[in-house]
């Protein structure tokens, strides 16, 4: 499914210059390639009535810098400079909607685990990405509670969006797909529902919306935050708390939220249908509002859009 999410023949911003993708190369011994020591963001640019806009740019760049801080990675660029690099890349690659991938990495051929003083490079790529789950979004996806537990902050900082964390995501996704499901739902070490491989999770019960909080070892998603704000603005009660696996099975609605996955209804978990096995009403309402927000159709959320 994900094979098409590759860099389209395009310009890559690489250490201060826009170069052809074919010129943005690293040596095979690259530290971050060997050890997963890179850090990244996933951002989307959407078309709006007034051109292309990047959704929640500063929140993404701040999270990126926070990840760098946690790994003592000195990118050597300010928030404004990184935002500028992102906007330059989007502009250089044309007017279409795209997924943006800023990536900072130890650009060293050393096999040492001591990263002090290693050169840090920054690259920004864009790619075409429609729906992450493509046509499945319409009908909703089928998930499996993964046999792999989510990493937690005593193992790797989950607040950081670091490449290495995604080995855990890859294992969960693989486990789900080889068992015939679309995606994994991870539980925390304590057995509470945590998140998807690259998405936060929400359940709806009796008209209330519930999502795991930071104590469930999740990445604090920016889409998650947008959903919470949109839902509260529409009068829903949204609670962040521990969620038992059973509560997912008996929920009225379940959905994922993430930059790539956007809002994706989940219609069954471990083969158990969620309610009638169709995307729920509240999920569809949130999905519609989120879509309006990212496309600049709701003035209330205009401040989330950064015009390209
Ligand atoms: C593990 C994980 N959880 C949640 C999310 C959702 O975060 P966001 O909405 O900021 O994209 C992502 C995607 O980045 C992710 O990789």
Predicted confidence (pLDDT) per residue in 166-222, tens digit: 999 999 999 999 999 999 999 999 999 999 999 999 999 999 999 999 999 999 999
- CA angle at residue 180 from 219 to 162, to 5 degrees? 20
Contact 39, 68 (CB under 8 A): yes
> How much distance in Å is there from the Cα of 196 to the middle of ligand 1?
8
Mean pLDDT of the 36-56 span: 96
Structure-token match 């537990």, residue found: 149
Q: DSSP code of 150?
A: P
> How much distance in Å is there from the Cα of 194 to the middle of ligand 1?
12
pLDDT(1) > 50: no
Q: Is the CB of 224 under 6 A from ligand 1?
A: yes
Q: Is the CB of 198 under 6 A from ligand 1?
A: yes
Residues that are catalytic: 161
| Predicted pLDDT of residue 12 | 97
Residue nearest to atom 4 of ligand 1 (CA): 199
Query: Hey, is 197 helix, strand or coil?
Result: coil
CB-neighbour burial class of residue 154 (10 A; exposed 0-12, middle 13-18, buried 19+):
exposed
pLDDT(2) > 60: no
Distances (CA, A) of 275 to 239, 248, 251, 268: 21, 10, 7, 9
Distance (Å, rounded) from C-alpha 301 to C-alpha 294?
8
Q: What is the value of pTM for the model shown?
A: 0.96
Query: 267-288: buried (b, 16+ CB within 10 Å) or exposed (e) per residue?
Result: bbbeeeebeeeebbebbeebbe
Q: Is the CB of 182 under 6 A from ligand 1?
A: no
Task: List domains and CATH numbers for the chain.
Answer: 2-127 (3.30.470.10), 136-294 (3.20.10.10)
> How much distance in Å is there from the Cα of 276 to the middle of ligand 1?
28
**Which of 60, 153, 173, 219 to probe ligand 1 with, by most ligand atoms within 8 A of CB?**
219
| Paired sense of beta strands 238-240 and 208-211, if any | parallel
pLDDT band (50, 70, 90) for residue 3: very low
**Which of 195, 225, 258 to probe ligand 1 with, by most ligand atoms within 8 A of CB?**
258
Contact 99, 260 (CB under 8 A): yes
């Amino acid at each position: 499914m994900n094979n098409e999410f590759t860099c389209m023949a395009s310009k890559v911003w690489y250490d201060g210059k826009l170069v052809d993708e074919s010129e943005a190369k690293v040596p095979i011994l690259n530290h971050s390639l060997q050890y997963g020591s890179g850090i990244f963001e996933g951002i989307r640019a959407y078309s709006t009535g007034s051109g292309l806009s990047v959704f929640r740019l500063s929140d993404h760049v701040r999270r990126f810098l926070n990840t760098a801080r946690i790994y003592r990675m000195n990118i050597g660029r300010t928030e404004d400079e990184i935002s500028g690099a992102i906007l330059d890349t989007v502009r250089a690659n044309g007017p279409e909607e795209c997924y943006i991938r800023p990536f900072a990495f130890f650009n060293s051929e050393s096999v040492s685990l001591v990263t002090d003083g290693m050169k840090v490079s920054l690259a920004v790529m864009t790619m075409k990405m429609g729906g992450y789950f493509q046509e499945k979004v319409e009908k909703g996806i089928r998930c499996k509670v993964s046999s792999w537990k989510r990493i937690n902050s005593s193992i790797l900082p989950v607040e950081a969006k670091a490449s290495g964390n995604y080995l855990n995501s890859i294992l969960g996704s693989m486990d789900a797909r080889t068992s015939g499901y679309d995606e994994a739902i991870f539980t925390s070490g304590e057995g509470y529902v945590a998140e998807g491989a690259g998405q936060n999770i929400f359940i709806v019960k009796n008209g209330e919306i519930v999502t795991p909080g930071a104590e469930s070892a999740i990445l604090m998603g920016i889409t998650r935050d947008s959903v919470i704000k949109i839902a509260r603005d529409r009068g829903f009660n949204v609670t962040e708390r521990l969620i038992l696996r059973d509560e997912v099975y008996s929920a009225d609605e379940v959905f994922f939220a993430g930059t790539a996955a956007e809002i994706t209804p989940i219609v069954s978990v471990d083969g158990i249908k969620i309610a009638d096995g169709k995307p729920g009403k509240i999920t569809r309402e949130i999905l519609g509002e989120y879509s309006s927000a990212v496309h600049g159709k709701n003035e209330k959320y205009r401040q989330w859009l950064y015009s390209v």
